Amino acid sequence: MKRVLKILGIVILVMVLLCGLVYLFLPKGAQETIAFDDPYHQSRPAASASHAMAATGTPWATKAALEMLDQGGNAVDAAIAALLALNVTYGEAASFPGVAPVLVYDAKSGNVESYIGAGTAPAAATIDRFIARGWKSIPENDIWAQLIPASPDVMVALLQKYGTKSFAEVSAPAIRLAEEGFPVHYAMLNNLDLSLVERLGFTILMPYNSEVYLHKQWWRTLQHGEVFRRPELAQTWRTMVAAEAGASNEGKTRTEALQAVREEFYQGKIAKQIVDFHKQKGGLFTAQDLADYHGGWEKPLSGQFGPYTIFANQTWSQGAVVPLTLQILDGIDLKSMGHNTPQYIHTVLQAIELAMADREAYFADPDFVNAPIDELLSPAYAAQRRERMTPSQAFGEMPPPGKLGAAALPDQFASIVKQTIHQSPMTGALSIGKDTSYLAIVDSQGNAVSMTPSDFPQTPMVPGTGMTLGNRMNQFRLDPNHPDALQPGKRPRITPNPSMVFKDGKLAMVLGTPGGDAQAQTIVQIFLDIAVFGMDPQQAVEAPRFISFNFPDSFAPNVYKPGVIGLEKPLNDAAGKALEVLGYKIEVGGEWDNLYGAPDVIMIDPETGALTGGADPREDSWAEGR
């Protein structure tokens, strides 16, 4: 027996040595590169323009938007071109066909509209089914975490109502990028920074994902500037273009041809590829789930801060945290405190934490949960919440939500939160890609689009299509008492949330950011930097920031860190000790750390219409105009 074990040990050792030798001789450098000026971590002046502007998560998406505007398209045409270009050039953060919440301003009517950009849970997705598999929360990497796709519905709806171009036209820049390639940028490298063991595990667990993002070469890391292509994603879009062309050739109207694009995705060849894959992998999607899916136009939520009106999506998104926070702060003399002083940071953090407590207790899909939003966004409620602030001491734990009218949720609130206090992050989960992206467009007619696309390849991609179905179901809860509890056909309360701001009735800012739970917090800070402290958009996005972790994280397993805040390093150096005296526990971030968001902003001069843009160097964002 000892002899057998010895021989086995020698064989294993020889195999390991042979594998090591093979690994040493495998090619590891970049095979084809493109020289480019990467804007990552590069300070810059604010962009300026007199007619139109785009500010997005990558330079290529910004250029795609400008290409549409140069071709006579409007803000919506440009936004869809930018969205698809982001799906190519930042696909590990904002993938096709993921979530895409959006706000649209139509200058002709003067109306702001919200479009529902979050998918729904499939009909088979019930809490009992997940619990029966031994899960206490929805897993990060499993196919069961996939949400019915939203962005194809969003694109077609926007183009039908407000756009002027065909799907073929708006998709052309992205298809070109996907087929010809673009250079790997630093933000992408950070998102795909995997060790050798992680790359090998990724390839074993999700071979098609690895094929797309590692180009079948798990043994080497991506290199800055190397050419990256997405040909199968381009082919998926060409299938949708062909459906549009076929309808047009049959004499169908532009609206009908665009509808054919939608039907190709939700009921045609692409739908079949998705459903067949779910059948093969034991997923939950059915053909009926896809065929029944629809988004929809809705009235946005809004709140006031002095002369400003801040718009957000309905409570299927966390977006209303922004006006809720700003209304709590309205009337407080923030300017006299000084920008990013300990007292200012403390004051803004407390308003954020009060709003986040209400988010946790009330925000959910309004088709399933009747959130008392009129009361939440009333000035009287803001004054009531303002009284809860403690000027000389941190809350320590998340404050309780406000008790509103007939709503019974706060009575359950304490037990819901306690279930998350002592949870630790999942171990062993594979983290591939992260974050979200953002795009802001303003055209020469004054129309505007604010959109926050997201989803990442942490669950199996659909082979042969280039499509990532994400893991956004991970933002549901498996506690039936929670407002965001999983139910078939329900939308999770997603973190992506675009914003739009008016001053004295005129469009003043279009802004948003990636960053999960930091998104709303970052938008609040950028707004205050501009509205209170008079910064230009680029100064605002480059300024150091802070965030609170004093509430359950929106992603399962909903980790809660009582009393903990994050400060970027320059801010910690300047204010950290004073904030610790107030009772805060501090996690120190880096300088220009994208955990704290990476916003893009377009500011509009109400008198001249001149445009000023800011793009955050924490990622590869870029603002440019005409």
- What ranges do the domains of the chain cover? 58-297+445-475, 298-397+496-625
Residue 30 has a pLDDT of 62
Euclidean distance between CA atoms 599 and 399, whole angstroms: 28
Residue 432 has a pLDDT of 72
Average pLDDT over residues 73-87: 99
Residue 86 has a pLDDT of 98
Residue 537 has pLDDT above 70, yes or no: yes
Average pLDDT over residues 84-88: 98
Q: Nearest CA to 366 among 500, 471, 479, 492?
A: 492
Average pLDDT over residues 17-46: 75
What is the 3 state secondary structure string of 596-611? HCCCEEEEECCCCCCE
Residue 18 has a pLDDT of 47
Euclidean distance between CA atoms 157 and 161, whole angstroms: 6
Residue 16 has a pLDDT of 45
For 18, 416, 419, 421, 585, the CA distances from 551, given in Å and listed in that order, are 50, 11, 12, 9, 14
Residue 417 has a pLDDT of 54
Per the model's pLDDT, the better-predicted residue between 365 and 1 turns out to be 365
Average pLDDT over residues 462-468: 98
Per the model's pLDDT, the better-predicted residue between 345 and 410 turns out to be 345
What is the 3 state secondary structure string of 505-545? CEEEEEEECCCCCHHHHHHHHHHHHHHCCCCCHHHHHHCCC
Using an 8 Å Cβ cutoff, are 295 and 310 in contact? no
Per the model's pLDDT, the better-predicted residue between 272 and 607 turns out to be 272
Average pLDDT over residues 467-484: 97
What does the pLDDT look like over 522-536, one tens digit per residue?
999 999 999 999 999
Pairing of strands 439-442, 111-115: unpaired
Using an 8 Å Cβ cutoff, are 300 and 112 in contact? yes
Cα-flanking dihedrals φ and ψ of residue 213, to 5°?
A: -95, -20
Residue 28 has a pLDDT of 52
Q: Which amino acid is at 502?
A: F
Comparing 51-60, 107-116, 428-437, the range with the smallest average pLDDT is 428-437
Cα-flanking dihedrals φ and ψ of residue 442, to 5°?
A: -130, 130
DSSP letter string over 144-209? GGPPPP-HHHHHHHHHHHT--S-HHHHHHHHHHHHHH-EE--HHHHHHT---HHHHHHHHHH-HHH
Helix or strand run (H / E) with residue 263: helix 254-266
Euclidean distance between CA atoms 453 and 84, whole angstroms: 10
Band (pLDDT 50/70/90 cuts) for residue 411 is: low
| Residue 206 in tokens | 């999700």
Euclidean distance between CA atoms 525 and 507, whole angstroms: 19
Residue 19 has pLDDT above 50, yes or no: no
Omega within 30 of 0 (cis) for the link into 557: yes
Q: Nearest CA to 453 among 162, 117, 77?
A: 117
Cβ-count burial 132-168 (b if 16+ within 10 Å, e if not): eeebebbbbbbbbbbbbbbbbbbbbbbbbebbebbbb
Average pLDDT over residues 451-461: 97
**Fold of the domain spanning 298-397+496-625:** Glutamine Phosphoribosylpyrophosphate, subunit 1, domain 1 (3.60.20)
For 128, 140, 306, 518, the CA distances from 135, given in Å and listed in that order, are 10, 11, 47, 27
Using an 8 Å Cβ cutoff, are 623 and 59 in contact? no
Using an 8 Å Cβ cutoff, are 125 and 283 in contact? no
Residue 31 has a pLDDT of 76
Q: Which amino acid is at 467?
A: M
Euclidean distance between CA atoms 79 and 68, whole angstroms: 9
Euclidean distance between CA atoms 1 and 7, whole angstroms: 10
Q: Is 588 helix (H, G, I), strand (E, B) or coil?
A: strand
Per the model's pLDDT, the better-predicted residue between 21 and 146 turns out to be 146
User: For residues 176, 181, 183 and 184, what is the CA-based torsion angle, rounded to 10 degrees?
Assistant: 110
Average pLDDT over residues 317-343: 98
To the nearest whole number, what is the mean pLDDT of the chain? 93
What does the pLDDT look like over 551-597, one tens digit per residue?
999 999 999 999 999 999 999 999 999 999 999 999 999 999 999 99
Euclidean distance between CA atoms 58 and 228, whole angstroms: 14
Return the percentage of the chain with pLDDT > 90, whole number. 88
Q: Which residue has the tokens 């071709």?
A: 71
What does the pLDDT look like over 346-375, one tens digit per residue?
999 999 999 999 999 999 999 999 999 999
Q: Is 213 helix (H, G, I), strand (E, B) or coil?
A: helix
Euclidean distance between CA atoms 312 and 95, whole angstroms: 22
Predicted TM-score (pTM) of the model is 0.94
CB atoms within 10 A of CB 203: 18
Q: Nearest CA to 120 among 259, 286, 363, 273?
A: 286
Per the model's pLDDT, the better-predicted residue between 302 and 219 turns out to be 302
DSSP letter string over 76-118? HHHHHHHHHHHHHHTTTTB-TTSB--EEEEETTTTEEEEE---
Euclidean distance between CA atoms 283 and 289, whole angstroms: 12
Cβ-count burial 230-267 (b if 16+ within 10 Å, e if not): bebbbebbebbbebbbebbeeeeebeebbbbbbbbbbe
N-term to C-term CA, the chain: 79
What does the pLDDT look like over 239-266, one tens digit per residue?
999 999 999 999 999 999 999 999 999 9
Residue 414 has pLDDT above 80, yes or no: no
Residue 418 has pLDDT above 60, yes or no: no
Band (pLDDT 50/70/90 cuts) for residue 403 is: confident
